[in-house]
A and B are shown apart, each in its own frame.
Chain A
Amino acid sequence: MTALLQILFDALSLGSLYALAAIGIALIFGVMRLVNFAHGDYISFCVFALLWPSIEATAFVFAGQLPPYLLIPVILTVGACLSMLSEILVFRRFRNANPATMMIASFALGFVIKYTLLMLFSSRPKSIDLWPSLSLPVEIFDARIPLLQVITIVITIVILIALVAFLKRTRFGLEMRAAAENFTMARMLGVRANAVILLAFAISGMLAASIGLILVTQTGTVDIQMGSSVMLVAFIATVIGGLGSLPGAVVAGFLIGGVSVLMQVILPFDIRPFRDAFVYGAVIAVLIWRPNGLFMPRSAKQRV
């Protein structure tokens, strides 16, 4: 029972991370059909914003020393600004380009961000102890669970509720949903296209920043690569969920997290290193079963 509870928490906390990242990608995809491969690099960038640039092995913690009530808004702002900046400088110029072109442009942008970080900080992973008290375990029904896991799950739920409220209750939210449904039509009906897209980027950037903060607290590491593996899984989650469908992205994120943890638990030792092959095999199976994703948004229906 205790072990089961522990596994459940493991799966939920990993799933939360994937879900948060998947929403960030699904939001942008919804409004402009862009699969943003730079998203992972936003995550890394936000984490590096905690440090002062130096290529020394020891991290020079700078913004990271701020108290949480200042630090969180600062990092979220960094994420939002970077994301909006990339929309203004790059993606705005690709409004009518085909998705492959946009995807490669986003990849090139991510490349630039990554190598800029590499030049400023060197490739050596740095260490930082952010909010050490969160690493302490708590007891829930006899299971000792790291506080951070609980917080990750709670934060994800809070963010999801806030996002739903925003999308359902505010004018901007309505416009964003309209744009995701049918961009051209929404535009004709007076939706401020650029403003809506910019806002979607801002939210997506903030989501990236919050993932960055969770990751760095959990791992204690600041690394150039840290965003990319989360981003890949999130990308897959977005597709499995049904591209552009926010609830789909969340569910699929949790699903992949759950399957990963489950595989790690049930696979025998000799096969365990092949875990990801099973996870991705499952991804193929789901796609064959439901090519349009678990939750297909009406806008994505294909005739052929």
Chain B
Amino acid sequence: MKKLLTGFAGATVIMAALGVGIAKADDIVVGFATASSGFMQAYDKPAQDAAMIRIDEINKAGGLLGKQIKTVAADTKTDRAEGAKAGLEVIDKGASLVVVSCDYDFGAPAALAAEAAGKVSFFLCAESIKAGIQGVGPHSFSASVLAAVQGATMAEWSYNKKKARTFYRLLDTWTEYNKGICDGFDWMLPKLKDAKLLGQDTFKNEDTSIAAQITRIKSLPQQPDAIMLCSMMPGVVSAVKQIRAAGIKSMILNGSGVSGGYWLNATPDLSDFYVPDQGSVYGDDPNSAVNDFNKKYKAATGGEPSSQYVYPGYVMIDVWAKAVERAKSTDADAVVKELEKMKDEKTLFGPRTFTSTLHHQNRGRYLITEVKNGKPGVVDEWTISEAIPVEYLMKK
């Protein structure tokens, strides 16, 4: 037992001795408290790569306020307790911007650590209203667009452009993101004249079979024009496959969670399937600058962007750097003030607006991607007619 005790005492001393590095005082430090292992790694890494591209561009163009941007990183291991540690670690290393995990649930602990230290934090691509003032505090932002906007966009677009009148709502109760999509859909639907909800159902992402849910759709007296499918990877693929296998031909509306063509080989003949995208990863974006970015991304990482969730990383550094330039300082309060002045600020992937009540997008331009015979391509573009009120989103 003595051996055991000395053993662990020794190990602790080793741990303690491996201290933390300290950044040079004249650099601006961006800290990434993101996952470089575990489940979230596949989602954090691409957005982080995109952020690095923007940082590189800024550094090559002379830096920010005449200083170079330096980055430090700590691994959250896709674990909340580790996330809090990672947040504290990058703050310790002098980060004036703390970038946290893509997902709200996994990013929040690090963001809360940043908030407590009075630092600006940015979620890489969280799409819940809580990723910001409402959930973390006045110094927290998200670079993406609210999930509800995606649901609302799909409802309004399909109503106007595809003449969809009857809808069915299928919700995967696994995550807040999924519920967010359906919340947006629920908000938009009553505003569409003559649009009718034929029915609704829920499933769980991990359900191996959604046969019972499908049977319910099939026993409707009339098949819906469109199914609003509020779900995400991996369960959504299974759901889509089973829906089509059962012979249901209604068009399927989705959130951005299914963006990207990487999963389509599971459903080779998929058609009438619509996805909102902030930018096109298929090389057919109406804005050629996006296609240039894709090339840059490929050069930096060796692969094309796999989904639109790469883009918010780039937007994040872009808007933050602009705010720092305008504030002429990295002081958190000054930067937040400048960010909150942004109204329809142009970025490569749609405009961004921040206000003193919302550090997120409750309205946004989306490209509409259609999957036809298993091939995705941009077919349209849509911005919802009015912003989703913050009060509505908070009640949800």
- Least CB distance, A134 to chain B, in whole angstroms: 9
Q: Is B116 interfacial (CB-CB < 8 Å)?
A: no
Minimum CB distance partner of A273 in chain B: B173
Contact B266 A220 (CB under 8 A): yes
Q: Which chain A positions have C-beta within 8 A of B264?
A: 127
Q: Is A132 interfacial (CB-CB < 8 Å)?
A: yes
- Least CB distance, B223 to chain A, in whole angstroms: 13
Bound state CA distance, A273 and B244, in angstroms?
A: 23
Bound state CA distance, A127 and B260, in angstroms?
A: 12
Minimum CB distance partner of B216 in chain A: A265
Q: Is A124 interfacial (CB-CB < 8 Å)?
A: yes
Q: Which of B307-327 contact A (CB under 8 A)?
A: 307
Q: Is A165 interfacial (CB-CB < 8 Å)?
A: no
Q: Which chain A positions have C-beta within 8 A of B42?
A: 55, 57, 122-124
Q: Is A125 interfacial (CB-CB < 8 Å)?
A: yes
Q: Mark A87-102, 1 if CB is under 8 A from B, else 0.
A: 0000000000000000
Q: Is A168 interfacial (CB-CB < 8 Å)?
A: no
Contact A57 B215 (CB under 8 A): no
Q: Mark B275-288, 1 if CB is under 8 A from A, else 0.
A: 00000000000000
Once A219-B241, A225-B206, A261-B212 are accepted as A-B contacts, the answer to whether A128 and B266 lie under 8 Å apart by CB is yes
Once A123-B38, A272-B201 are accepted as A-B contacts, the answer to whether A10 and B211 lie under 8 Å apart by CB is yes
Q: How many residues of B contact A (CB 8 A)?
A: 47
Q: Which of B78, B209, B245 has the most CB of A within 10 A?
A: B209
Contact A137 B208 (CB under 8 A): no
Q: Is A58 interfacial (CB-CB < 8 Å)?
A: yes
Contact A146 B237 (CB under 8 A): no
Q: Is A245 interfacial (CB-CB < 8 Å)?
A: no
Q: Which of A44-76 contact B (CB under 8 A)?
A: 55-59, 61
Q: Which of B218, B233, B238 contacts A6 (CB 8 A)?
A: B218
Contact B39 A123 (CB under 8 A): yes
Q: Is A230 interfacial (CB-CB < 8 Å)?
A: yes
Q: How many residues of A contact B (CB 8 A)?
A: 49
Q: Which chain B positions have C-beta within 8 A of A141?
A: none
Bound state CA distance, A56 and B201, in angstroms?
A: 34
Contact A123 B41 (CB under 8 A): yes
Q: Which of A129, A146, A226 contacts B266 (CB 8 A)?
A: A129
Contact B39 A261 (CB under 8 A): no
Once A10-B212, A218-B238, A269-B201 are accepted as A-B contacts, the answer to whether A148 and B245 lie under 8 Å apart by CB is yes
Contact B234 A221 (CB under 8 A): yes
Q: Mark B252-286, 1 if CB is under 8 A from A, else 0.
A: 00000000111111111100000000000000000
Q: Is A296 interfacial (CB-CB < 8 Å)?
A: no
Q: Is A194 interfacial (CB-CB < 8 Å)?
A: no
Contact B215 A144 (CB under 8 A): no
Q: Which of A132-180 contact B (CB under 8 A)?
A: 132, 135-137, 144, 146, 148-149
Q: Which chain A positions have C-beta within 8 A of B212?
A: 7, 10, 261, 264-265
Give 17 CB contacts A-B under 8 Å.
A13-B209, A14-B209, A57-B42, A57-B260, A59-B265, A123-B39, A125-B233, A127-B263, A127-B266, A127-B267, A132-B269, A137-B246, A144-B247, A215-B208, A219-B238, A220-B267, A221-B266
Closest 5 CB pairs of A and B: A220-B266, A125-B234, A219-B238, A127-B266, A10-B211
